[in-house]
Structure 1
Amino acid sequence: MSPAARMWSAVDSLRWSEGVGLGLLQGVVGGVFGIGGSSIGTPLLRMLLDTPPLVALGTPLPLTVPSSIAAAAAYRRRGMVNWRAVRWTAPVAAPAAAAGAVSTRWVPTQLVMMLVALTLLLAAAQLWRRQSGAQPRPDLFGSSGVSARPWALASVGVLVGAASGLLANAGGFLLVPAYVWLLRARVREAAATALCCAPFIALPGIVVHGLLGHIDPSLALQLAIGAVAGSVLGARLSLRFQAIRLRRPFAVLLLAFGIYFSMRVLNSTS
């Protein structure tokens, strides 16, 4: 093998290791907190790999399907998924996600990047403010058998779907706080249910963003390889440790990351 070929092989191996490593990190975060997609992957791709903005936005989206399925399976075995909430949220979120993804044709790229940064800050606030001792309402996850109102779950699905399509996200960054704040579900139960909704929200976005040229197939494969293993590991960590032990340290890290990424985006517009 010539020196040039060896150098190219080394560079290619480094790129693959970087992509798989980023996918592993994203999978762990998604498995523990139900947060993934553009809220984590896009800033990492922009800052670490200098990926073009819209490609960085769309490329992490395909990996949410295998990673969310793998993590949701771990939660399902523990009986932590509310399937009725999934049935009322996912079907209406899917077409809304397609519409949100189409809107990226007209929304300014820098505005989309600022919205991605905002999701980081919102996710950090959600993780920090959740009180460990709060109990869920019986209408969603309680033992009384009374279910949440369908219109409330469907409304959440429409809003989350539209935002997720625009931001190339599977919806966890909004579904988890929606289930926690509005329906008072426990964090892990909300994350488990959000992960089960994720494939249905992500698939329309994948199709639309792919048609718009926002997905790099090679990079998406690298991310997916790491994300599947990371999501299983993240789900197991969440089930093993108390949520408060993981939540607040990560919230601080996520806040710092969000502020830094926001400054990067603002500097690029000046």
Structure 2
Amino acid sequence: MTLSYVVSGFAVGILVGLTGVGGGSLMTPLLTLLFGIHPSVAVGTDLAFASATKVAGTFAHRYSGNIRWDIVRHLCAGALPAAVITTLALKYFGTISPEMGQIIRYSIAVSVFLTVIALLFKGKLQHWLNAHPEKQLQGAKLTAATIVAGLVLGTLVTISSIGAGAVGATLLVLLYPRLTPAEVAGTDIAYAVPLTAIAAAGHWWLGSIDWALLSALLLGSVPGITLGSLAARKVPEKILRALLAVTLTSVAIKLVF
């Protein structure tokens, strides 16, 4: 079984390296559906997995100057308190009860669908906003909207471990359409590090992290992400995103039905 976890980490790592998104959207449903891991344990373990892997990405983007730290601060102002409050709510309602497990399962499905929408329409949304600058928020309204976006993402990520990647990037494109793709990726990864770390710490407190499983996933994901990143230049992005969208849609349908 450990080998299967390593292989799964490797496969997800390749897809993340190729497309830049899909880590939580693929890993959590994979653990739940393929290996029969309880949803709360799958979420907790994936959050720890995401926190560890995103640290390296943050250092790389920081070195390249791709992170907008002012936006990161505003996102964290909403996301981090939301992660703490959601963790306390999970503790109160019970993460291992059948009812809570079903809620988490459905939240994962919703998050996956949001990720699919983000993958398919992010470019069109950015193009429309650039063509209609009067629709863009400015000043205090933009700051408030960014904090609210962080609050939504913090809640979503803590419950399902999904949303910090493609959904977060799409919200950044909507709020800040003038950001370059590299700035979107760097800012998205940077705010996700403290968010996933706090959410993972909360799930550790709740007892919903499988450390042996986490180690096996990381063992496979590191070379997978490296190989995927190297191959990304040779594979058309549209094909990759379409493939990922179809895969995630199938996963979400399976989770619901």
Normalising by the smaller structure, the TM-score range is 0.7 to 0.9
Query: How do residues 141-152 of structure 1 correspond to structure 2 at under 5 angstroms?
Result: 149-152=142-145
- CA–CA separation in structure 2 for the residues paired with 1:239 and 1:132: 22
Aligned to 1:178: 171
Query: How do residues 36-185 of structure 1 correspond to structure 2 at under 5 angstroms?
Result: 36-37=23-24, 39-105=25-91, 106=93, 108-131=100-123, 134-135=126-127, 149-169=142-162, 171-184=164-177, 185=179
- CA–CA separation in structure 2 for the residues paired with 1:133 and 1:160: 19
Quote the offset at 1:88 in angstroms: 2.1
Partner deviation per Cα, 1:56-102 (whole Å, 9 max, x = no partner): 22111111122112234444455433232222212442221122122
Tell me whether 39-48 or 182-191 shows the greater mean CA deviation.
Answer: 182-191
Q: Report the number of matched residues.
A: 241
Aligned to 2:202: 208
8 Å CA contact 2:58, 2:189 repeated in 1: yes
Distance 1:29 1:96, change over 3 A: farther
Quote the offset at 1:25 in angstroms: 2.8
- CA–CA separation in structure 2 for the residues paired with 1:65 and 1:237: 24
Aligned to 1:190: 184
TM-score (normalised: structure 2): 0.79
- Structure 2: tracts of 5 or more residues without a match: 95-99, 131-137
Distance 1:79 1:236, change over 3 A: farther
Higher relative contact order (CA 8 A, sep 6+): 2
Structure that is richer in helix per residue = 2
- CA–CA separation in structure 2 for the residues paired with 1:195 and 1:213: 26
Q: Which amino acid aligns with 1:215?
A: I
Partner deviation per Cα, 1:102-144 (whole Å, 9 max, x = no partner): 2223272201101101111221122122337955978xxxxxx
- Structure 1: tracts of 5 or more residues without a match: 1-14, 139-145, 264-270
